[in-house]
Structure 1
Amino acid sequence: MDVITLGETMVLFTSKSSGLMRYAGDFSTKIAGAESNVAIALSRLGHKSGWISRLGEDEFGEKVRAFIRGEGVDVSQVTLDEEADTGIFFKERLTPEEIRVKYYRRHSAASRMRAEDIDEEYIAGAKYLHVTGITPALSDSCYETVLKAVGCAKRNGVPVIFDPNLRRKLWTEAKAREVLLKLSGLADIVLPGIDEAEFLFGRASHEQLAQQFVENGAAAVVMKLGEKGAYVYEKQSSGYVEGFPVEQVVDPVGAGDGFAAGCISGLLDGLELQEATRRGNAVGAMVTMVDGDVEGLPDKKRLIDFQNQTSKEDVDR
């Protein structure tokens, strides 16, 4: 296995009409989850990925598992829970610019993940473990599950990639800061957004924030700067990696997951971290041009074509 990740995936209902949800009569359904987005993206880019989670033993659980398995992701470590439901959430389009999201995930099957769900041998067989800050926010048992997975990875020499993916509504700021700092310190590579870095360390320059992650224990930091690209910091080198211009952003949700997958894909292909980050920038940009979390994720050919076309346009200008 190239990459293993773990976390909650839910069914997303989006009203087909704009305005208050109370007036909506029709909804479309999609699958959404940060970690499974990364697993699917890596699969499309030609890598072997596995996803660990819990789903309700219900129709939504079957829908999620079948969809992710259909994208070529290994779901052999997914547990079906007959005592809890699969999480769902709703997207309300008040206007094209104003969107509200309502989650129904409390006491979901995924929130009942526990350390016993982690098979150390499965983790040991991976080249990378990817975790986010969403999963430990779901429950204490989920936090213990993440710590177990990270511990298994470190004991077996599997590098850990951590995306803080801060969700303020899921926990208190004090608890979030404590847990995200701990996991950042255990990770080999941290992928924070600039807002997450400032949440953890306060306002400072990109260079200072990145250095604080390394002082906290990480070996390398790739800080996401939105359309500007990213800042890469390692003890041996550092530098900015330009982003890819997007004429019209259709849906920014999932761009960070695409970025993470692009970076990991580059590392799996033997690229240096800065060049792998360029691939991450490209995948993230492509995701924003399509509605949905995974609908815009490219395969390797589309990704290379996009990168080459953008580079050509830069030269022509």
Structure 2
Amino acid sequence: MPLSIRPDAALDLVSLGALVHRLDPGVVPFRKAKAFDIHVSGGEYNVAANLSDCFGLRTAVATAMVDYPIGELIQAQVRAMGVTPFYKHFEHDGVRGPNLATVYSDRGHGVRAPVVFYNRSNEAAARLKPGDFDWAKVFAGGLKWFHSGGIFAALSETTPELIIEGMKAAKAQGAVVSFDLNYRAKLWKAAGGDGRAVETLRRIVSHVDCLIGNEEDMQKGLGVKGPEVTAKTESKLDPEVFFGMIENTVQEFPNIKLVATTLREVHHTNRHDWAAVLWLEGARHVSPTCELDVIDRIGGGDGFAAGCIYGLLSGRSADESLRLGWAHGALLTTFHGDVTMARVEEVEAFAKGGSARVQR
């Protein structure tokens, strides 16, 4: 295994990022909504939650927490997913915050696409800065894997510095470091635009072993030029374009040992073709392709990342790890909400070619 994963540690994975609550009116557009579900989420947190709840790993999240009723709601869900929290607490003033961010996302349906928008005004997580976490305490007993992402990096000028501080502390523990670029145009526009995104993410990625991201992430987030697309490689499921992007990326960041992403062809909101690819120190791996009947696509990429990380942490081959990520991400789109409801046996069965026949 090219990735050096320490055999024993108190924690399998620690995620650093923001916790949010997503308001979901289902297929009803928000302007017509009368009720909604509340999902606890966060691009970085979701990976820790999935690894704990589905795969039975020991995970933790380092994040901001606000002491008000929404914070209590979110803390209850973190506990329910079995994730150990390390909170930097903030007091709410009863009027303006600081707040735990709200994400608004209707699911769309058929030819109507999902719509996502945010209220991240005066967000507590954006106030996090180096020195807010005692990494020696968080990593006490050892750590195998550290994970963060581009959503958290976009929140303020201090969050990227905290990510780098955490990565350095994790490296000193002998942990593998991963980063999901998760480029979000709306967030980076509010944070200074593509120029700041590239400068910020390139500094972070220079500390990373494992990178998760698609072509847009690498082009707009890292400023890496892509290969010329020909008529033969126009399909979004063709892995050659992505592998070309990887070659260009690792030339600029030779510290990267692994790159992975999902490949998705959207026919309409509820019907996607789904595949994934993984590059590990020059070797290329491609998953099968399946058709997804999507209930809720939010969190599918985090589900993929969690499955891959589980495979690698459990000593599986690159092919097996890729299939576990592909299978778990696919299953996650069949559930409401952002985090897993799958059982590890279901993921293993689908990764090996299982079907949707009734289980009796």
CA contact (8 A) 1:221 1:234 kept: yes
| Structure 1 residue ranges without an equivalent (≥5) | none
Please list, as runs of the form range in 1=range in 2, the aligned pairs for 1:32-181 lying within 5 A after superposition.
32-44=41-53, 45-75=55-85, 77-83=86-92, 84-92=98-106, 97-121=112-136, 122-123=138-139, 125-171=142-188, 172-181=193-202
Q: Secondary structure of 2:89's partner?
A: strand
Contact 1:259–1:283 (CA<8 Å) still a contact in 2?
A: yes
Instruction: Verify the 8 A CA contact 2:104 2:118 in the aligned structure 1.
Output: yes
Given that 1:244 and 1:310 are in contact with CA atoms closer than 8 Å, whether structure 2 keeps it comes out as: no
The structure-2 alpha-carbon separation of the partners of 1:95 and 1:272, relative to structure 1 and needing over 3 Å to count, comes to closer
- Which has the larger displacement, 151-160 or 251-260? 151-160
CA distance in 1, matches of 2:325, 2:107: 29
Where 2:290 maps in the other structure, the secondary structure is coil
Residue of structure 1 in register with 2:318 after alignment: 273
Change (3 A) 1:271 1:312: farther
Preserved contact between residue 194 and residue 224 of structure 1 (Cα < 8 Å): no
1:63 Cα offset (Å): 0.9
Aligned residues: 309
- For 1:202 and 1:280, how far apart are their aligned partners in 2? 27
The Cα of 1:290 is off from its aligned counterpart by 2.1
Q: Deviations over 1:77-124 (max 9, x none)?
A: 112210412211222466552332221112211111111222222246
- What's the counterpart of residue 208 of structure 1? 244
Name the SS for the 1:140 alignment partner: coil
Q: Does 1:287 align with 2:332?
A: yes
Indicate the SS of the match to 1:293: coil
Identity of aligned residues (%): 28
Paired with 2:178 and 2:26, the residues of 1 have a C-alpha distance of 36
In structure 2, distance between residues paired with 1:17 and 1:308: 33
Name stretches of at least 5 consecutive residues in structure 2 with no aligned partner: 1-10, 93-97, 228-240, 265-272
Preserved CA contact (<8 Å) 2:164 2:207: no
Q: Is the 8 A contact 1:17 1:26 kept in 2?
A: no
TM-score of the two chains, using structure 1 as the length reference: 0.90
Q: Partner of 1:301 in structure 2?
A: 345
Q: What secondary structure, in the 3-state scheme, does the structure 1 residue paired with 2:154 have? A: helix
User: Residue deviations 1:115-148, cap 9 Å, x none?
Assistant: 1222222246210001111111001121111111
SS in structure 2 at match of 1:246: strand
TM-score normalised by structure 2 residue count: 0.80
RMSD: 2.2
Give the C-alpha shift of residue 224 in structure 1. 2.9
Partner of 1:229: 275
Cα distance between partner residues in 1 of 2:280 and 2:350? 27
Q: Which segment is superposed worse, 201-210 or 161-170?
A: 201-210
Output the amino acid matched with 1:73. Answer: V
Q: 1:123 to 1:133 in 2, by over 3 A?
A: farther
CA contact (8 A) 2:183 2:216 kept: no
Q: Distance in 2 between matches of 1:201 and 1:183?
A: 15
Q: Does 1:241 align with 2:256?
A: no
1:188 aligns with 2:209: yes
User: Conserved in 1, the CA contact under 8 Å of 2:258 and 2:279?
Assistant: yes
Q: Which has the higher helix share?
A: 1
